Amino acid sequence: MDSISTDWTAAAAAEHGATIALRRAIHADPELGLDCYRTTAKLKDALAGLPLTIRDSRSTSGFVARLDGAKPGRTVILRGDMDALPIHEDTGLAFGSAISGHMHACGHDTHSAMLAGAARILCARRDAIAGTILFMFQPGEEGMAGARHMIDEGLLDDPAPEAAFAIHVFPNVPGGIIACREGALLAATDTLAATIIGKGGHAAMPHDTRDPIPVACEAVVALQAHIARRTTFTDPAILSITQINGGSAHNIIPDRVTIGGTLRTLSEARRNDSRVAFKRIVSGIAQAHDCTAETNIEPGYPATINDPRAVALVRACANDLLGTDAYHDIPAPIMGGEDFAFVLQKIPGAMAILGVAPPEGDPAARPPIHNAKMLVDEAALARGVALHCAFATRFLADGWA
């Protein structure tokens, strides 16, 4: 098809009031996990009357809205997540969370509102579109694998997209900056747990016990030594033990100690190697001290791997729409995780970062995502709306050319 000669920046500016109103309504009414039905209702209200075919997820509150252009062509998917976090908001915003203990502290309110804005703009230009655009509105990003649920239900198969794009806002990146990187953008996440089992007794008679507390301490130190000495900086792993629980009184040696934490990796080889090492080290140290250990690793999300062709498309769109100063290459992966990784395992594409730091002060000093004081410069959201439009229509027009 011919490229649509639309000024996406102007279109997003015209849509900006509606985007902000929707974002604030979602922000004030945050929902957690896979069941974000009030949010779904707000989004569907915003899309009412548009030439979209809606397919609801059966196991979540998510849905996919399909726009068929006037002519046939390629298929592209744009994704926005919609769930909040169990954090008590402390921003003082007039439209702050009305739900005690819940907050949109990862910007997913902005993601779904930007995607709805892009859907409205693209629907208005349906006559100029050859191909199909799927808008994926997804709950349960924060640990519930909402994207995988929707994939398992076949919501991304009809028709099968050939490219996938998502935008994540960052409140400590300067407002309006678009950043991306080829390959690993975000890490695989695994949850680690172990129980070290000894034999309890009187604290003054440790020789009659098998004290699990020094064993747990030794295991934690040995795990860090493994990361420091057995992994390479070119294929890194982060292993953080974040919980140690054991004991009930100052004069009782406990029977058992539990430890818990997280493992972050960028390749499947490193992920497998680190999982094996966790079990080997904890069990081996327990055995060395005449204790036993039980370990459990709960798999989380895979690494988020951006396709170089999609990153080139993101860069080209950012340069065209926003000028060459707006695009930045991210020098190193971010060791957080994202369930858009499941989409990218199936469909080549990219997640881009949109800076939304408020203009005043040092952006890097701003409260980050997952912080109760996180703030968003709403002016930057128009850039996200315009970029969504550009990602989709550029791919439909030119493919990976």
Positions touching Zn ion (CB under 5 A) are: 106
Cβ atoms of 304 and 184 within 8 Å: the answer is: yes
Q: Least separation, in Å, of the C-beta of 83 and Zn ion?
A: 9
Compare residues 106 and 136 and give the one whose CB is closer to Zn ion.
106
Alpha helices (H) along 305-363: 308-322, 340-346
Q: Least separation, in Å, of the C-beta of 338 and Zn ion?
A: 7
Cβ atoms of 252 and 200 within 8 Å: the answer is: yes
Compare residues 106 and 155 and give the one whose CB is closer to Zn ion.
106
**Element (H or E) spanning 243, and its range?**
strand 237-246
* Number of neighbours of residue 151 by Cβ within 10 angstroms: 20
Alpha helices (H) along 29-104: 37-47
Chain centroid to CA 297? 20
DSSP assignment of 124-179: HTGGG-EEEEEEEEE--TTTS-HHHHHHHTTTT-TTPPSEEEEEEEEEEEETT-EE
Compare residues 32 and 286 and give the one whose CB is closer to Zn ion.
32
Nearest residue relative to Zn ion (C-beta): 106
Cβ atoms of 106 and 370 within 8 Å: the answer is: yes
Compare residues 107 and 175 and give the one whose CB is closer to Zn ion.
107
Compare residues 388 and 394 and give the one whose CB is closer to Zn ion.
388
Q: Least separation, in Å, of the C-beta of 337 and Zn ion?
A: 9
Q: Least separation, in Å, of the C-beta of 370 and Zn ion?
A: 6
Compare residues 179 and 291 and give the one whose CB is closer to Zn ion.
179
Q: Least separation, in Å, of the C-beta of 105 and Zn ion?
A: 7
What burial letters (b/e) apply to 327-354, b meaning 16+ CB within 10 Å? bbebeebbbbbbbbbbbbebbbbbbbbb
The 3-state DSSP class for residue 181 equals coil
Give CA–CA dist 103/111, Å, rounded. 14
Q: Least separation, in Å, of the C-beta of 272 and Zn ion?
A: 25
Question: Token pair for residue 6?
Answer: 């639309």
Q: Least separation, in Å, of the C-beta of 328 and Zn ion?
A: 19
What burial letters (b/e) apply to 46-58, b meaning 16+ CB within 10 Å? bbeebebeebebe
Compare residues 43 and 106 and give the one whose CB is closer to Zn ion.
106
Q: Least separation, in Å, of the C-beta of 106 and Zn ion?
A: 3
**Region for residue 101 given its phi and psi (left: phi exceeds 0; alpha: psi -120 to 50; beta: otherwise):** left
Question: Strand 188-197 to strand 292-299: parallel, antiparallel, or no bridges (unpaired)?
Answer: antiparallel
Compare residues 82 and 293 and give the one whose CB is closer to Zn ion.
82
Q: Least separation, in Å, of the C-beta of 58 and Zn ion?
A: 24
Question: Token pair for residue 14?
Answer: 């015209």
Helices (H) and strands (E) in the chain, counts: 9, 16
Compare residues 88 and 280 and give the one whose CB is closer to Zn ion.
88
Q: Least separation, in Å, of the C-beta of 366 and Zn ion?
A: 16
Compare residues 116 and 147 and give the one whose CB is closer to Zn ion.
147
